[in-house]
Amino acid sequence: MQIRLFILICAFFSPIVVAQPIAYPDRSVRIVIPFPAGGPPDILARAMVEPFREKFRQALVIDNRPGASGNVGSEIVARAAPDGHHLLITPDTVITVNPHVMTKSGFNATRDLLPLTLLTRISQMLLCHSSVPAKNVRELVALAGTGSLNYASGGAGAPNHLAMELFLFHAGAKMRHIPYKGAAPVLQDLLAGHVHCAFLGTPAVIAHIKSGRINAIAISSAIRSPMAPNVPTVAETGFKDYDVTFYQVLAAPRSLAEPVKWSLAAFANEVLANPELQERVLTPMDHARVGGSPTDAANTLAEISAKWEKAVKRIGLTFE
């Protein structure tokens, strides 16, 4: 009789034990940015610090860990305990491109990271120094065919590197690649005329376009930039299959608990929906809010990854 009573008591209380909510977070949360401070992922993370403290009553600590086209910082998060206390904001290229082009990496972001939501959508602008006698895509392609041009990027595997290589592939043209460490020195040398062309974010270059120091040739995405509505997309100029749209992704270690996963996704969507944040942060960066669920993010990134896998094979793009 005593044994039966004990079993009944256990059966009665066990659902209550299982249903107890996960205490999250129980300490400060580190959000890793795998690129230098001041870039779009860093700006987005800093915009989340105060809302995170208000919602979760814990600090959100930003940790910039650049290197290896985003793999250094991303791997730190992937190897961390999957308890939600290590997060990542990164361009989607870490997940959608790096696994296909990194020849000597034991880390695979597609396998080791869990996308929580897509934060924003961004494009890049194709630019040339004013000394380059090309004012549109057709003229640039013709000039590139002479082998006289070079282009700069923020480094191997950076979004502007990928955007240009895919453009050159579609155009059947060639330019000499000059890699830099980040977008800031690219812009500096483009303005000085030390390099001929580059893909860069619109907000950083719009004033220089208006001054005539550099020329806007085209936009990388399938949608024109609200900041430069008169600049056509590459697709509009005759390369209809060209669409290089990048996303900023909030991610976590792969085995993150379900309640924490959905809680963080809901938080990020709530922050992004704030009109004040959109006006103060997203609009000046020329970013469009995306949002959505972890499932939405995973599906979109899988599609983009499949596209880049085919593209990098056609281009023959690999690096260490």
Full DSSP string of 101-129: HBSS-S--HHHHEEEEEEEEEE--EEEEE
Residue 279 to residue 281: CA distance in whole angstroms: 6
Whether residue 267 contacts residue 58, with contact meaning beta carbons closer than 8 Å, is answered with no
- 155 and 95 share a domain? no
Residue 60 to residue 58: CA distance in whole angstroms: 7
Whether residue 76 contacts residue 65, with contact meaning beta carbons closer than 8 Å, is answered with yes
- 44 and 134 share a domain? no
Query: Which domain does 189 fall in, by range?
Result: 125-237
Residue 194 CA from chain centroid, whole number = 28
- 175 and 208 share a domain? yes
What CA–CA distances, in Å, run from 129 to 156, 192, 198, 263? 22, 8, 9, 46
- 309 and 225 share a domain? no
Residue 310 to residue 100: CA distance in whole angstroms: 9
- 110 and 36 share a domain? yes
Is 69 a domain residue? yes
pLDDT of residue 22: 65
Is 189 a domain residue? yes
| Helix-, strand-, coil-residue percentages of the chain, each rounded to 5 | 45, 20, 35
Sign for the CA dihedral angle at 260, 262, 268, 270 comes to negative
Omega prior to 99 cis, within 30 of 0: no
pLDDT of residue 39: 85
- 101 and 70 share a domain? yes
What's 114's domain CATH number?
Answer: 3.40.190.150
Could you tell me the two tokens for 166? 């895919």
Could you tell me the two tokens for 167? 């453009």
Domain end position, chosen among 237, 268, 299: 237
- 129 and 206 share a domain? yes
- 303 and 263 share a domain? yes
Is 6 a domain residue? no
The number of domains in the chain is 2
What's 212's domain CATH number?
Answer: 3.40.190.10
Sign for the CA dihedral angle at 281, 284, 285, 287 comes to positive
Domain end position, chosen among 170, 204, 237: 237
Could you tell me the two tokens for 3? 């044994």
- 149 and 231 share a domain? yes
Could you tell me the two tokens for 235? 């697709």
Domain end position, chosen among 187, 208, 237: 237
Is 131 a domain residue? yes
- 45 and 179 share a domain? no
Is 268 a domain residue? yes
- 58 and 204 share a domain? no
Per-residue pLDDT tens, the chain, 320 aa: give them: 444 444 433 444 444 334 345 689 999 999 999 988 888 899 999 999 999 999 999 999 999 998 888 899 999 999 999 999 999 999 999 999 999 988 777 788 999 999 999 999 999 999 999 999 999 999 999 999 888 999 999 888 888 999 999 999 999 999 999 999 888 899 999 999 999 999 999 999 999 999 999 999 999 999 999 999 999 999 999 999 899 999 999 999 999 999 999 999 999 999 999 999 999 999 999 999 999 999 999 999 999 999 999 988 888 888 76
Is 203 a domain residue? yes
Is 19 a domain residue? no
